[in-house]
Structure 1
Amino acid sequence: MRPPAPAEDVDLWLRTNGWFPGREETAEADRRVQWRVDSSARQGFPLRPWDEVLRFVRSYVSLDFPVPKSGDRVFRADPSFGYEGDAEDIAELAELLGQDLFPVGYEAGENGIVLLDGLGRFFYLHHTGPYYLGANAAQALSSLMTGDQDDADDYYV
């Protein structure tokens, strides 16, 4: 993985698209998280959020972050995006990582699901496989902004 984008560049990308420090959209975020909880339970692979998931989604929900120089790729912090059977795919990746996972968003255009694990790491579940975005939100957002990701298999237990 290349070094992350400069923090100033990521901050400008976020702020240009409506984010600001302290932003918290609790009602909308909680509604979308609950939708995901219910959907995963219906699929037979229940997913459960934790505080860090809620903090992340509440900070970025309902905003679009277009990926520079990529055409139609846009990051959206919306855990309610998914496809039939995705909860099983998420559960399988969680088992490989040895950590709980919960969706915190997706990348429109590619339709990959952005996941947060119990250690605070971010992963990207794409139709071509799972990828690692970073050890924390700052690294993950930089990766989403630049399109730079590593294969997730280096993080399997």
Structure 2
Amino acid sequence: MDFSGLSQEVREWLERNGWFPGRDIGSAEADELIDVRVRDAERQGNPLVPIDAAVRVIRTFGLLTLQYPRAGDLALEMNPNVGYDGDAGLISELGTNLGQRLFPVGYESEDYGPVLVDELGRFFHLHHTGAYFWGFNEQDAFAHFMSGAQALDAEDFFV
């Protein structure tokens, strides 16, 4: 990943939360995280296929707890394994509507809604109120989370 696209604000926030340029949890640990999520999706009857963009995000940011800068109890947990029963079907449905496969890379700690990456590297959040677009890349997604701004409806990106 080219980290030159990260704003100074996002880079400093990531670094305060344990990230550093070149960070990589390694393929063995990433594969283990991914396999847990794949098995859970199969158990739910809606297989999820890991995609390159999501694997890259998991290797780079996996297992970090990215604290929301304005509230100590809210975080972006970069662990693809947390979700809720039935979320695999919702992820698959959202992917179909977007015309892109999606794979979880983390979750937002307040409601445990999965944060997803599609084949284009775009970020989406599956919230109990609907699906939302967080950005075209890591910079956009992290800046969005940090700001607390209202996200666009994922429907705006349906094919």
What residue is the counterpart of 2:3 in the other structure? none
Report the AA paired with residue 154 of structure 1.
D
What residue is the counterpart of 2:19 in the other structure? 19
Unaligned stretches of 5+ residues in structure 1: 1-5
Partner Cα distance (1:29, 1:127) in 2: 27
Question: Where do residues 64-103 of structure 1 align in structure 2 (5 Å cutoff)?
Answer: 64-103=65-104
Task: Output the aligned Cα RMSD.
Answer: 1.3
| Aligned length in residues | 152
Aligned-residue sequence identity (percent) comes to: 47
TM-score normalized by the length of structure 1: 0.92
Q: How far apart are 1:28 and its partner, in Å?
A: 2.4
What residue is the counterpart of 1:154 in the other structure? 156
Q: Does 1:61 align with 2:58?
A: no
Q: Does 1:117 align with 2:113?
A: no
Q: Give the 4+ runs in structure 1 shifted more than 4 A.
A: none
What residue is the counterpart of 1:3 in the other structure? none
What residue is the counterpart of 1:135 in the other structure? 136
Deviations along 1:79-131, one digit per CA (max 9) or x if unpaired, are: 10111111001011111111101001101013221000111111000001100
What residue is the counterpart of 1:39 in the other structure? 40
Q: Secondary structure at the match of 1:62?
A: coil
Partner Cα distance (1:98, 1:78) in 2: 24
Partner Cα distance (2:69, 2:153) in 1: 22
Q: Secondary structure at the match of 2:10?
A: helix
Deviations along 1:22-56, one digit per CA (max 9) or x if unpaired, are: 10002322211110111111111110112221111
Unaligned stretches of 5+ residues in structure 2: 1-5
Report the AA paired with residue 20 of structure 1.
F
Report the AA paired with residue 156 of structure 1.
F
Q: How far apart are 1:71 and its partner, in Å?
A: 4.3
